[in-house]
A and B are shown apart, each in its own frame.
Chain A
């Protein structure tokens, strides 16, 4: 007790308070990169052992690592970078986290308050430059506000629809003295994330659910953010409704379940997109009707009543008018629906006819490919990775064809196993997010499925992986092209492959070796299994598998931009 009073009276520097706040918040790991404006903070981090710091090789990597950490564990990711270029390098990751609703807190150093606005060395208006891509941001201008602001930052980042929060800290604030008192709770009159679910809307939805003959559940990342996977499975099973997932939602409903009709959208399955088009009831759960999902808006689910469950009111009726909006945390809403349907033993319509139709569509087997004995098909590698990891690995990906094939063919049975950049589509996301995922899940198998173009965007993080002994398996689908760009050029630009050929590639095996890792090049289909098994068996080492794959393979099905769901190109 006495010590407590002493603590309260004692004065600490802003940098000491910063570290104490992280400790009080339960932060175990910070991803970052030092620089002039944050040197006081780094000095304090150095003096203690409660909060570990992971040194990345580029600030973009720090933010993606924090995203992977947060997405795979549901614990907010924390980043610390310096002012100016430290902050601007972090922007891509911050924007990525904003688009995909990832709870991260990014601390940026800032020049001294007296210098702000003077174009000082390494000065940039971080609050201004990050404003459009954060959930909220703060600049701390008094050391007395440090503890409250940090508490608020974590509160805003993790509640409601999660998102990135930036806290900008001028250097002089980290040397000023003040007492330390970390608030236990925080409330903000202008921000109230607790939404009461409207019974009236739920009742309307129940009525439609019980009378529907052609229903579809379209579930997205909100189900994962809300930890509502079990609730969704329970309800869908009871109703016997087909379930499709968005790219961000994969894993929220078991990929191997018979009611799962695969991913929907631009590269979704034939059955998912046809069902979306023909359904009479569309239940959107934690999904936001992104343009890659909807395609042509005026031809979207033309005959359906649309029930939209989302925590963010601004997502509702933004792109597609919702007939029955239900605003609230997905978990709370699904619990209410279950109460009114399962607990009351309500009987849904017999939808055998609808299932017959869906099963007919399924026969198209729209993700099929054929593996010969000469050239490795990229899909085959993903397929084998799925089989050999028993579908139980954490998979991160970069952006492009390899991402779509992984989404199509790796069947995720659990939430938080599929870590990718959906909204912003950030090449370079895969490797650093795998690092964060590995830190959050030590001892688990983490694989990064990537391409030879994407991997080079954050390749420097191979060094971080060595420093912290991260045994990530990199599955490089190397087709010597920016595959998705090449595919669009083939389809829509008469095969003029402007700048999409990856010339002058490094020898990835030697590159991995020079960073202290293991590298293998695999050119024959018959060597795929052995390479993957060997890599998995290297429990303590990072293994870079460079698969030389078919250059001409395209992702199918494909709905061209702005087309309707029933206008798929199948091959």
Chain B
């Protein structure tokens, strides 16, 4: 099962490596991890997408909570929530026909940027699931794919 775990932690040097090290030392999966400042200047919020059965997820949460730098851990996928990710897909413009181009430009979740080297960068902000679908559809022509990893927030 896929889970998103949100971790609020003290913004101190080494905090990120404590979390990353915990996952590798205990053989937990990380699908994606993103970290950025939070509403509190002295704390960062980390969003980890992971997978595992209930016992594994329980251990992940408990082990994260045990880290002295960690202020709060919440699993957000088990309740109503919103999740988003940003992806950039770079393609050569010769690999794309006009029909697809016009479909892309009409799609409100996509933004198109042109480079000086006749490439197009498609910017996509959506749920990770939609992004997966989109990437699948352009995978054959994609020269480069850059994804941010998901962030999420409870919405109930």
Contacts and interface: CB of A to CB of B under 8 A. Distances in A.
Contact of A317 (B18, B25, B58, B68): B58
Interface in B63-106: 63, 65-66, 68-71
Given A190-B10, A317-B55, A318-B59, A135 B21 contact: no
Contact of A128 (B9, B10, B17, B25): B17
Nearest to B69: A190
A365 B68 CA distance: 46
Nearest to B58: A317
Contacts of B58: 317
A383 interface: no
A156 interface: yes
A458 interface: no
A121 interface: no
A136 interface: yes
Interface in A115-144: 127-128, 131-132, 135-137, 139
A235 B21 CA distance: 41
Contact of B18 (A131, A156, A188, A321): A131
Interface centre among B55, B59, B63, B66, by most A CB within 10 Å? B66
A314 B21 contact: no
Interface SS majority for chain B:
helix
A131 B14 contact: yes
B68 A313 contact: no
Given A136-B68, A188-B68, A313 B62 contact: yes
A492 interface: no
B65 A313 contact: yes
A317 B58 CA distance: 9
A189 B11 CA distance: 13
A467 B65 CA distance: 45
A190 B59 contact: no
B21 A189 contact: no
Contacts of B62: 313-314, 316
A312 interface: yes
Interface string A185-198: 00011110000000
Nearest to B18: A131
A313 B59 CA distance: 9
Interface string B7-29: 00110011001100100010000
Interface centre among A312, A314, A318, by most B CB within 10 Å? A314
Contacts of B63: 314
Nearest to B59: A318
B21 A156 contact: no
Contact of A190 (B17, B21, B25, B68): B68
Contacts of A131: 14, 17-18, 21
B9 A314 contact: no
Contacts of A191: 68
B71 A189 contact: yes
A189 to B, nearest CB: 6
A34 to B, nearest CB: 27
A356 to B, nearest CB: 37
A135 B68 contact: yes
Interface string A321-362: 100000000000000000000000000000000000000000
A135 B17 CA distance: 14
Interface in B44-70: 55, 58-59, 62-63, 65-66, 68-70
Interface of A: 127-128, 131-132, 135-137, 139, 156, 188-191, 312-314, 316-318, 321
10 contacts: A131-B18, A136-B68, A139-B13, A190-B71, A313-B62, A313-B66, A314-B63, A316-B62, A317-B58, A321-B55
Given A128-B17, A136-B68, 13 more contacts: A127-B14, A128-B14, A131-B14, A132-B21, A135-B68, A139-B13, A190-B10, A190-B71, A191-B68, A314-B66, A317-B55, A317-B58, A318-B59
